[in-house]
Structure formats: C-alpha cells, structure tokens
Structure 1
C-alpha cells in the first residue's frame, strides 16, 4: 500500500482571488469554503478523486523565502505557446529564477508571486 497526495496547501493573502486564478488554470471548481476564509478547490470529482485538491489558506504575513515546493503544469488541449498566452492573460507573469533561456519550460508566478512551471509536454485531459 502507498500514500496518495490528497491536498496541497498554499498559504496566501487572498484565498478567493487565488481560487479564481487556479480554478481557471487547472479547470478546477470550488469544493468548499471554511469559516477561517480557506477555500478548497479541485477536480469535479472532489477530494480523493482523480487529482489532489488545493487548500488556499489565508495568512496575513507571508515570509519572503524561496518556496520549497512548486507546482508544474502541463497543457492538455493546446501547445505550450498557446497555453502560455492563456496563463499570462489569466494574470500569471514571467518569473526569473536563474534560467538560461534554453529550458523547455516556462517559469511563471501566480498573482501573489508563487512560482510554478509550464512544462512543454502535453498530457491527456482527465
């Protein structure tokens, strides 16, 4: 028996805004809202389903340190260039983490500056 990733937790200043961004990026839906302001998003089959859910947890003060975990995403229905344009239109912005410019991926930041990568390979949709 092995473990599965059930949830990813991202501390953020504005969980609702982050939920809107990541729902559009990942084709997720809002699954739950907690009294503390946390928002859970995920695939339509919910927690324990086809993909891990994301908990966007409010935190007033965020440390300015390098994240030890980041998200890699792959386009499912378009090439990398078209997906890059879509993500930028949603509010992502290019991030510089010391790339050489020869990488096959793009490093981006979400609206609160959390870095993630858009990989070149397409993967089938769920």
Structure 2
C-alpha cells in the first residue's frame, strides 16, 4: 500500500484571493471555510478524497522569505498553451524569472502572491 497526496496546504497573506485565483485556474470550487480564515478548494465533483488534491490556503502574516522549494506545474485541458497563457495572465498571473534560458517549452508564472508555477506545453484530458 502507498500514500497519495490528498491535500496541499499553503500559507497565504490573503487566503480568499489565492483561493479565488487557483479556483479559476483549476476549475475548482470552495469546499470549506474555517474560523481561522483558511479556505479549502477542490474539484467540484469529488471534493475531499477525490483523485485530485484539495488546496488549503491558511492565513499567515509572515512574508515569504525566499524561493519556494515546491511549485505547481499545470497543463491546459481545452486549449493550446498560448491560449491558456493568455487566460492565466488575465486571471492575475504574471511572468516570473527564475533563470530560464528562453528555450524552455514551458512558461514560468507567479500567482497573485508571487508563488511560482509553470504552464507546461502538453494538453491533458480534463478528467
């Protein structure tokens, strides 16, 4: 028996803003809101325990000290990479420079709080 990732928990200065951004990016919905200000989002048809992990944004007042040691890679499901890039930028993502050469097949972006993520080229089934 093995484990699988069921939830990813991220600190956020503004959990509502990040939850809204990532819900739009991933097609997730709000699943739960805690008294401490945490917001959980996940797939609309599965919620907790489904095949895709739930994201939980917990409030923090501590600024991010350095580059994250973990980042998300995302793939478009219903359009090509360039069209998805335009959509993500319209949602509030912005280009990020982490030392890429310009020859990569992916785009490095940052979410509204500066957390880096990559938009990969391959289109995936929406599953």
TM-score of the pair, normalised by structure 2 = 0.97
Please report how far the alpha carbon of residue 15 of structure 1 lies from its aligned counterpart in structure 2 after TM superposition. 0.3
1:77 maps to 78
Distance (whole Å) between structure 2 residues aligned to residue 58 and residue 29 of structure 1: 19
Please report how far the alpha carbon of residue 63 of structure 1 lies from its aligned counterpart in structure 2 after TM superposition. 3.1
1:35 maps to 35
TM-score of the pair, normalised by structure 1 = 0.98
Q: 1:1-126 alignment to 2 at 5 Å?
A: 1-44=1-44, 45-126=46-127
Distance (whole Å) between structure 2 residues aligned to residue 47 and residue 65 of structure 1: 30
Deviations 1:93-125 (A, max 9, x none): 000000000000000000000000000001100
The number of aligned residues is 126
Distance (whole Å) between structure 2 residues aligned to residue 63 and residue 86 of structure 1: 26
In structure 1, the gaps of 5 or more residues are: none
Distance (whole Å) between structure 1 residues aligned to residue 104 and residue 64 of structure 2: 28
Please report how far the alpha carbon of residue 18 of structure 1 lies from its aligned counterpart in structure 2 after TM superposition. 0.5
**Aligned Cα RMSD in Å?**
0.6
Distance (whole Å) between structure 1 residues aligned to residue 69 and residue 107 of structure 2: 18
Superposed structure 1 runs of 4+ greater than 2 Å apart: none
Please report how far the alpha carbon of residue 64 of structure 1 lies from its aligned counterpart in structure 2 after TM superposition. 1.9
